[in-house]
Amino acid sequence: MKDYHFSAVLPQHARACIQEILRNYLVLKEEEISLYDAKNRFVAENYKAIHTSPSADVAAMDGYAVMAEETFDAYDTNPKYIENFKTVQTGESVENFNTVIPFEDVQVEDGKIKIFQSYYPRQNVRSQGEDIKEGEMIIKKGEILTFFDKVYLKAGGWLCVRVYKMPKVAFVPTGDELVDKIEEVGQLVEFNSVIFSELLSQYGFEITIFRPVANNLNVLKETLKKLIDEFDIVFVNAGSSKGDKDLTHEAIQSLGKVTVHGIAIKPGKPTVIGEINGKLVMGLPGFPVSMFFVLKEIFLRAFFDAYLLNPKEKSYFAVVERRIGSDVGAEEYIRVHVENKDGKNHARVLKRGASAISSLKRADGYIIVPVNVDVVEEGSLVEVKMI
Ligand SMILES: Nc1nc2c(c(=O)[nH]1)N[C@H]1C(S)=C(S)[C@@H](COP(=O)(O)OP(=O)(O)OC[C@H]3O[C@@H](n4cnc5c(N)ncnc54)[C@H](O)[C@@H]3O)O[C@H]1N2
Ligand code: MOO
């Protein structure tokens, strides 16, 4: 008789299993690419600024570079003529002067400039190294390149950057009911591939999405056998729990080894972690919200830790609007809408069902309720991880 019983390991154990499999075969390669192509990539080296910016004290306005001290006794009823000056454009070195008077503030008479006020030293001057100093750390090995990291790298003298080549991953949806467009009652649109692709492309994974595979053990096994040679990691979606048509566990077990079936998380419990020919194969739950959290909180966290990568994820703090109950025995991921009222962030819990993507669409983020916590009291301050 089929075993319908479901056990579950702690999330940290599941992550450790993923890391152990990965460490045995997957070394991240590196490549050097143009900064302009380095979208969502992790750098493979420390980067320090090669030059200082600005490289000298420069004018912040078009005008006349002068010594501020020569202007101190000038005011509107006591204008003063200055002979010692240099005409400068914005960004040009002020050389031996320390202040810039904008063109529009002076009158030029007989090769001298007539000024009507005093100026303080360094007025309208950008100091050497004000933005970037030679040798300053711009980005550390393992960090993801953000928008302004790249601007900073270019300003600091780098045109190309060494980044990690992320693994080639395959996404295989399973289920007879899945189609791209509904033509018959009972069919469902396959959209989990969009979640997979959007999420993993944020971190530069090389993603291939396959057409849905039928609920047939032999077909699934043949598919996995083929893909495991070509890809670094294979993800099978749906069929990961213990229904009669849930074949992921059996397919992986018969071709390799299953190390985890069931993780103490909610949603996302029916997850399979295994290996075929030494490579990681994961069975992700079919419900979209469950799949999202398994990828984000189990797979990606394990992956980033294994390769010392820092995705620079953002979170903020909010006050819980109403008491939240949670199951003891499962780490729970609760979607929240966050609103700022009277200068304070308030988190309101959204629908908790794992089948409805509307809760993810409306969510600003989610909070993590640890395995051993059953209540988060109203008014508690919680960390909201951004989606
Ligand atoms: N007897 C039990 N039944 C279920 C359990 C359990 O513990 N015992 N767990 C429930 C939980 S929790 C989840 S989560 C789901 C996930 O299980 P499966 O991975 O086996 O997923 P399926 O049943 O095959 O599919 C669930 C649902 O998701 C739809 N789906 C699947 N793939 C896609 C896709 N690519 N795009 C869009 N939607 C997809 C599928 O049509 C189903 O409606 O199991 C519970 N059952
Ligand atoms: O794991 Mo299921 O994902 O609880 O809905």
Whether residue 252 has pLDDT greater than 60: yes
- Return residue ranges of the chain for CATH 2.40.340.10: 315-386
What pLDDT sits at residue 2? Answer: 59
The DSSP output letter for 294 is I
What pLDDT sits at residue 380? Answer: 96
Whether residue 79 has pLDDT greater than 90: yes
With beta carbons less than 8 A apart as the criterion, state whether 42 and 144 touch. yes
The DSSP output letter for 43 is B
What pLDDT sits at residue 258? Answer: 96
What pLDDT sits at residue 352? Answer: 80
- Alpha carbon distance 45, 47 (integer Å): 6
Ligand nearest to the CA of 242: 1
pTM of the model: 0.92
What pLDDT sits at residue 354? Answer: 77
Q: What is the CA radius of gyration of the chain?
A: 30
Whether residue 254 has pLDDT greater than 80: yes
- Alpha carbon distance 246, 33 (integer Å): 43
Whether residue 381 has pLDDT greater than 90: yes
287-291, Cβ contacts within 8 angstroms, sequence gap of 24 or more = 287/354, 287/355, 288/191, 288/192, 288/195, 288/354, 288/355, 288/357, 288/360, 289/335, 289/353, 289/354, 289/355, 289/356, 289/357, 289/359, 289/360, 290/354, 291/192, 291/195, 291/196, 291/237
Ligand nearest to the CA of 284: 1
Other Cβ atoms less than 10 A from the Cβ of 32: the count is: 11
At 103, the pLDDT band (50, 70, 90 cuts) reads: very high
Query: Which residues are within 8 A (CB) of 316 and not within 5 positions of it... i.e. 6 or more apart?
Result: 338, 345, 365, 383, 384, 386
Whether residue 80 has pLDDT greater than 90: yes
CA of 285 to the centre of ligand 1 (A): 6
For ligand 1, pick from 2, 241, 359 the residue to mutate: most ligand atoms within 8 Å of CB. Answer: 241
Whether residue 3 has pLDDT greater than 70: no
- Return residue ranges of the chain for CATH 2.170.190.11: 58-126
What pLDDT sits at residue 356? Answer: 82
- Return residue ranges of the chain for CATH 3.90.105: 33-53+133-163
Whether residue 209 has pLDDT greater than 60: yes
Q: Please state, rounded to an integer, the average pLDDT across all residues of the chain.
A: 95
Looking at the chain, the whole-number percentage of residues with pLDDT higher than 70 is: 99
Quick one: average pLDDT of 271-299? Answer: 97
CA of 241 to the centre of ligand 1 (A): 7
Give me the helices (H) in the chain, please. Answer: 11-23, 147-155, 192-201, 217-230, 248-255, 288-293, 301-306, 358-362
For the stretch 315-351, pLDDT in tens is 999 999 999 999 889 999 999 999 999 899 999 998 8
Q: With CA atoms as reference, report the closest residue to 268 among 285, 256, 250.
A: 285
CA of 224 to the centre of ligand 2 (A): 24
Q: With CA atoms as reference, report the closest residue to 72 among 130, 11, 117, 125.
A: 117
What pLDDT sits at residue 4? Answer: 61
CA of 59 to the centre of ligand 2 (A): 61
Nearest CA to ligand 2 atom 4: 267
CATH superfamily of the 315-386 domain: MoeA, C-terminal, domain IV (2.40.340.10)
Whether residue 116 has pLDDT greater than 80: yes
Other Cβ atoms less than 10 A from the Cβ of 287: the count is: 21
The verdict on domain 33-53+133-163 having CATH code 3.90.105 is yes
What pLDDT sits at residue 358? Answer: 85
**Assigned fold of 58-126:** Molybdopterin biosynthesis moeA protein; domain 3 (2.170.190)
Ligand nearest to the CA of 267: 2
- Return residue ranges of the chain for CATH 3.40.980.10: 11-28+166-306
What pLDDT sits at residue 291? Answer: 97
With beta carbons less than 8 A apart as the criterion, state whether 94 and 100 touch. yes
At 250, the pLDDT band (50, 70, 90 cuts) reads: very high
For the stretch 32-64, pLDDT in tens is 999 999 999 999 999 999 999 999 999 999 999
CA of 270 to the centre of ligand 2 (A): 7
- ipTM metric: 0.95
Number of DSSP helices (H) and strands (E) in the chain, helices first:
8, 28
The CA angle 195-196-201, to the nearest 5 degrees, is 105
The verdict on domain 11-28+166-306 having CATH code 3.40.50.150 is no
For the stretch 221-238, pLDDT in tens is 999 999 999 999 999 999
**Strands of 279-284's sheet, edge to edge?**
206-209, 168-173, 233-237, 279-284, 272-276, 257-261
At 1, the pLDDT band (50, 70, 90 cuts) reads: low
CA dihedral 276, 279, 280, 282 (to 10 degrees): -40
What pLDDT sits at residue 222? Answer: 97
Ligand 2 contact via 238 beta carbon (within 6 Å): no
Tokens of 7: 């056990």
Quick one: average pLDDT of 143-170? Answer: 97
